[in-house]
Structure 1
Amino acid sequence: MARPRLPQSILHPVRLLPLTFFALIVLGTVLLLMPFARTGDGSASLPAAVFTSASAVTVTGLSTVDVSTYWTPAGQVTILALVEIGGLGIVALATVLGLFIGGRLGLRTRLVAQVDMHVVSLGEVRPLFRRVAVTMLAFQSVVAVVLTIRYRGTYFGDWGTSAWHGVFDAVMAFNNAGFSLNPDSIVRYAGDGLVILPISTAVFIGAMGFPVLAELFKEWRHPDRWTIHTRLTVWGSFLLLTVGAVAFLAYEWSNPGTLGGHSWHHKLVTGVEGGIMPRSGGLNSFDWGAVKPESEMIATVMMFIGGGSASTAGGIKITTFLLLAYVILAELRGDPEVVVGRRSIGPAVIRTAVSIALLAVMLVAGTTLIIMTMTDFAFSDVLFECASAFGTVGLTTGLTPRLPVDAQMVLVVLMFIGRVGTIAAASAFVLRRRMPRYHLPEEQPIIG
């Protein structure tokens, strides 16, 4: 008897990617509903389990409950595993396991991996996954060791607790997730450069994107050989870090709710954090509900932009943002084509960038309006929360736990789309089976 097979339309790589992430969210929900995952008697509530699982798989970090008290150590390990799998990518992890166990990759697996990792050719998948897996685990291990030593020397009285917090924070930082074993995130470490800076560095590197890390692994000594994608991601990330940190320090320097009253060292360390975390990190050593409106607006923009393509970050991605800037510059100059670093950018790439940006604007604006209709919260706070969910950041002004369940489910959908990508999510439902064989007459409507 022939085994039943899934329809080819479902097995298409662009559809299989979001379906795989959805399946992992369901699995995570089931595990978190088990009695062993919840402290006290009984199991976790279904909304809390769904939201936590979706937030972990999409490496966001928003939470409707206190991770440190609501979930048992087993539940926290489940969250850690979901974040690790979601960060690397379900397909990436499966491919890496296949490399180490079987040594072979099927064509369909490589096609799905190509969609998830945004690599150009199928031949790049095998070496890319190997380097990414080793680099990711090695980097997390180094950060975990650094944090463990610092935690043991200053904050915790035994090596076991210190190591658990060190590993958990290292995984969350590199995967750009905002979960913490402390009820106040990393507020207790505020101003401690030996904790904040390693965590911020891990967030920054994790948000670069797997293709960039793979290229830097080979060509870090030769920036002149970097591809346009790597140049845009690296230099754009440093630019946003600088702008974000300077702006945060300028607006919050004298704010008693954040930096006011602290030492120069404390302010500078927190300023670096303020320039990195809104890009995708989610961990915070100060109350984002106490920042000035200017800082909240800048952070919202940073969360909307996000990190590098094919990274653990969400948002429209730094390359999309910078390409659109080059498009505007070329249009203002009247240039016939868009040029970046002596390379011409094709119309298909530009069309994709515009589509991603417009879809993202509609998603964030639409969900903000929906949640405002459901609640009475201020526009700026709702927009901040929606940008955090779409950018899979995890920062919050404290609004998420206070939202009604239906509004929280809106954020779940937004986190899911932010992780799998606006184009991948949209294309999964509108795939063409074949290309059209005709070209319609052109017409030029008035623009502007």
Structure 2
Amino acid sequence: MIVTGFGMAVVIGAAVLALPIATESGESAGLLAALFTATSAVCVTGLVVVDTPTHWSMVGESVIAGLIQVGGLGIMTLATLFTVLVAGRLGLRARIFAQAETKTLSMADVRHVVRRVVVFSLLCEAVTAVILTGRFLLGYGEPWGRAVYLGVFHAISAFNNAGFALWPDSVMRFVADPWICLTIAAAVIVGGLGFPVVFELLRGWRRPRRWSVLTRITVGVTAVLLAAGTLVFLAAEWHNPKTLGTLDDSGKLLAAFFAAVMARTAGFNSVDIAGMDPTSWLATDLLMFIGGGSAGTAGGIKVTTFGLLAFVIWAEMRGEREVNVGHRRLPEPAQRQALAISLISVALVALSTYLLLALTSHSLDRVLFEVVSAFATVGLSTGITADLPPAGHLLLVMLMFIGRIGPLTLGTALALKDRARRYQLPEERVIVG
């Protein structure tokens, strides 16, 4: 159902974007460009094959914003909300679908959770839109209508971790503007934490000792990755005239922090990605692949998966049979699920990189960056997206679609497929390493 829902959203979005009214020129964008853009919007990625502000009309941009909203909240969440509004109650089947999409830990309060998800999302987008609108209006002299339009569009794009921007250079013109950059970064972080974590933080942010394992891992790993990413970008790009070299010290810190946040599946860029040092590309690859929190608008394998595997490695290095986080023990099925999702994702990225290398003449570092960005639904690019052949665009479409629904459906399937054997086979040790 989740796959079908997202697929239908992509098809409908592509059909509308293929209409002449969706482009500035009044001519059809073509099926491939419409399909790529619709997939990128529904999967909240941000990769584009045509320039968003110059190619698409206001109708097309509005359709893109709507697709981002649908993809961010989740097809099943929206369907459940409509069911609640129309019927006033939920059946078991609808509750199960809503639970799969929102990662609710209990089915008893799914209806309440879905309502809170939608209300919280719209509230965050509204606050972000108000701040951005005020800045565009007062700081840059944009007309009232244009300022509101820019504020609302980028609020939706930021909170849903989409990365679509209405300027050809993304947000590079605002690289030293903390009002724009920090507002967008805050929306990205909140949207990428995941709804269960956000709700728990709202209830008990003053009592971290009572946080669940999910919240502890998500918040802890997110903080570490943001700090590490900022330091890496500062070290690698400090003297680079194409990125941070021309900024003052505060501007460099702001730009590096913004780059670290956006690499976690948002897709906005305030500096030229193509001008970055290859070491920064590699660091961005790692941040993109890990992604954000579970049940949020971010992509990647998720910080919970990464953090869980880190605890597994730590326990193994200490010779402990059980994996503990704080005062809780992690169940073995969760450890196996994290390992399965990670290895399958690595295999998919490796295979896609090989295929894209065979289809193009671009270097490995640029192709790997593009593949990871598509799979992790980030949207950052070194500038080769539009130059890829049609087969390469279709490969990225597949990666964006799998990257959006793959970890969700795979994780759910693995969790539901857990079954116990009534017998055990004889044990035999093997050499590892």
* TM superposition score normalised by structure 2: 0.96
**Cα deviation digits, residues 187-217 of structure 1 (max 9, x gap):** 1111100100100111111100111112222
Q: Structure 1, residues 354-375: CA drift from partner, whole Å, max 9, x if none? A: 0010011001111000000111
Q: TM-score, normalised by structure 1?
A: 0.93
- Are the counterparts in 2 of residues 337 and 344 from structure 1 also a CA contact under 8 Å? yes
The answer to whether the 8 Å contact 2:101/2:408 transfers is: no
Alpha-carbon shift at residue 154 of structure 1 (Å): 2.5
- The 1:425–1:400 alpha-carbon spacing in structure 2 relative to 1, beyond 3 Å, is farther
* One-letter amino acid of the counterpart of residue 325, structure 1: A
| Equivalence for 2:306 | 321
Is 1:441 paired with 2:425? Answer: yes
- Of the structure 1 ranges 71-80 and 101-110, higher mean CA displacement relative to structure 2 is found in 101-110
What pairs with 1:241-280 in structure 2 (closer than 5 Å)?
241-280=226-265
Post-superposition shift, 1:443?
A: 4.0
User: Of 257, 260, 271, which residue of structure 2 is paired with 1:286?
Assistant: 271
Question: For the Cα contact (< 8 Å) 2:196–2:295, is it kept in 1?
Answer: yes
Q: Distance between the aligned counterparts of 1:265 and 1:437, measured in 2? A: 59
Percent same amino acid at aligned positions? 45
Q: In structure 2, do the counterparts of structure 1 residues 255 and 109 end up closer, same or farther at CA, with 3 Å as the change threshold?
A: same
State whether residues 102 and 114 of structure 2, in contact with CA within 8 Å, keep that contact through their aligned partners in structure 1: no
8 Å contact 1:258–1:291 — kept in the other structure?
yes
Q: Give the 3 Å change call, closer, same or farther, for CA 26–440 of structure 1 in structure 2.
A: farther
Are 2:44 and 1:59 equivalent residues in the alignment?
Answer: yes
Q: How far apart in 1 are the matches of 2:152 and 2:168?
A: 17
* CA shift for structure 1 position 447: 2.6
**2-structure distance, mates of 1:48, 1:164:** 24
What is the letter of the counterpart of residue 191 of structure 1? A
Return the letter of the residue paired with 1:422.
P
The amino acid across from 1:293 in the alignment is P
Contact map agreement 2:259 2:270 (CA 8 A) in 1: no
Amino acid at match of 1:337: E
2:10 counterpart of 1:25: yes
Query: Which SS does the other structure have where 2:265 is aligned?
Result: helix
Query: In the alignment, what sits opposite 2:33?
Result: 48
Gap regions ≥5 residues in structure 2: none
SS of 2:324's partner is strand
Structure 1 distance, partners of 2:432, 2:257, is: 42
User: Is the 1:148–1:162 contact (alpha carbons within 8 Å) kept by the matching residues of 2?
Assistant: yes
CA-to-partner distance for each residue in 1:367-398, whole Å, 9 max, x for gaps? 00000011110000010111111111111111
Give the equivalent residue in structure 2 for 1:96. 81
Q: Which residue is equivalent to 1:213? A: 198
CA distance in structure 2 between the aligned counterparts of 1:353 and 1:313, rounded to whole angstroms: 17
Structure 1 residue 265: Cα displacement: 2.1
Q: Which amino acid aligns with 1:233?
A: T
Please show how residues 94-173 of structure 1 align to structure 2 within 5 Å. Answer: 94-173=79-158
Q: Secondary structure at the match of 2:329?
A: strand
Question: Structure 1 residues 188, 237: closer, same or farther in 2, change over 3 A?
Answer: same
Question: Any conservation in 2 of the 1:327–1:338 contact (CA below 8 Å)?
Answer: yes
What is the rounded CA distance, in whole Å, between the counterparts of 2:11 and 2:383 in structure 1?
26
How much does 1:97 deviate? 2.9
Q: Is 1:191 aligned to 2:176, yes or no?
A: yes
Corresponding position: 1:367 with 2:367: no
SS at match of 1:421: helix
Secondary structure of the equivalent of 2:44? coil
Task: Name the CA shift for 1:38/1:428 in 2 (closer, same or farther; >3 Å).
Answer: farther
Mapped contact 1:249–1:271 kept (Cα < 8 A): yes
> Unaligned 5+ residue runs, structure 1?
1-15
Give the whole-Å Cα distance in 2 for the aligned partners of 1:437 and 1:319.
28
Match of 1:344? Answer: 329
Closer/same/farther in 2, CA of residues 318 and 225 from structure 1, 3 Å limit:
same
Aligned residue pairs, count: 432
Matched letter for residue 283 of structure 1: F
Aligned equivalent of 1:299: 284
Q: How far apart, CA to CA, are the structure 1 residues paired with 2:16 and 2:153?
A: 19
1:358 aligns with 2:358: no
Residue identity in the other structure for 1:207: G
Tell me if 1:312 matches 2:297: yes
Instruction: Measure the CA separation in 2 of the matches of 1:180 and 1:364.
Output: 26
Distance 1:412 1:156, change over 3 A: farther
Please state how far the C-alpha of 1:145 moved relative to its aligned partner. Answer: 0.6
